[in-house]
């Protein structure tokens, strides 16, 4: 029993020493990060959860008493649970659902372009509002993918935002120019999706 205890003590001591070294490395790395700035964040890729992740950051920002702006470029006609949930925060959330649906639904190029331009104009208003700390541009990547908006002008405007404003852009197929301009890019992979097994979009999961 004493030998077992000694062995356990040695294992515990080795673990403490290993974790102490790791903590020192981590602490030094954290201490070396001194820049504070507004981030341009891009959530892209074929996997599910890009918008959900963006709204998670919005909730975090609201938790600190900040204001959040949301512009939906595609999903405007859909009723979503998150819109209802954020409504509980009153005017601390500015929400504009301005999409007309996906292009295969409208089948009207001029209409799609007009909707995207109107949504982008609203996005610029929110970006210019000094009371807003985070702007979510939901499915902007889709509008850029189909060339509804001028990519270079959009990226230039996002890069020219004020220093303390965070912006999150979501949607598949993020353009390389936007990826290059971003501070943080997350590519969400698709390993498995219930749609392929015949499971439909469900309340509380997809909307």
> Which alpha helices (DSSP H) does 32-93 contain, by range?
50-63, 81-87
Q: Which helix (H) or strand (E) holds 169?
A: strand 166-170
Domain ranges of the chain: 1-34, 35-189
Report the distance separating Cα 21 and Cα 43, nearest Å: 34
pLDDT, tens digit only, all 207 positions of the chain: 555 667 788 888 888 888 888 888 888 878 877 789 999 999 999 999 999 999 999 999 999 999 999 999 987 767 889 999 999 999 999 999 988 765 656 678 888 999 999 999 999 999 999 999 999 999 999 999 999 999 999 999 999 999 999 999 999 999 999 999 999 999 999 999 998 899 998 888 888
Report the distance separating Cα 18 and Cα 26, nearest Å: 12
Q: CATH homologous superfamily for 35-189? A: P-loop containing nucleotide triphosphate hydrolases (3.40.50.300)
């Amino acid at each position: 029993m004493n030998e077992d205890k000694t062995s356990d003590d040695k294992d515990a001591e080795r673990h403490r020493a290993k974790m102490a070294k790791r903590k020192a490395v981590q602490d030094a790395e954290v201490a070396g990060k001194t820049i504070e700035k507004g981030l341009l964040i891009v959530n892209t890729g074929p996997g599910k959860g890009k918008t959900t992740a963006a709204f998670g950051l919005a909730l975090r920002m609201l938790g600190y008493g900040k204001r959040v702006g949301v512009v939906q470029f595609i999903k405007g006609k859909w009723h979503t649970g998150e819109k209802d949930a954020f409504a509980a925060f009153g005017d601390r959330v500015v929400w504009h659902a301005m999409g007309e649906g996906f292009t295969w639904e409208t089948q009207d190029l001029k209409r799609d372009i007009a909707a995207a331009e109107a949504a982008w104009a609203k996005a610029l208003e929110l970006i210019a509002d000094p009371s807003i700390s985070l702007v979510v541009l939901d499915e902007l990547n889709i509008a850029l993918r189909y060339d509804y908006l001028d990519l270079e002008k959009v990226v230039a405007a996002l890069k020219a935002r004020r220093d303390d404003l965070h912006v999150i852009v979501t949607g598949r197929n993020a353009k390389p120019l936007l990826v290059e301009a971003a501070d943080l890019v997350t590519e969400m992979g698709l390993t498995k999706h219930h749609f392929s097994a015949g499971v439909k979009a469900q309340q509380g999961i997809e909307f």
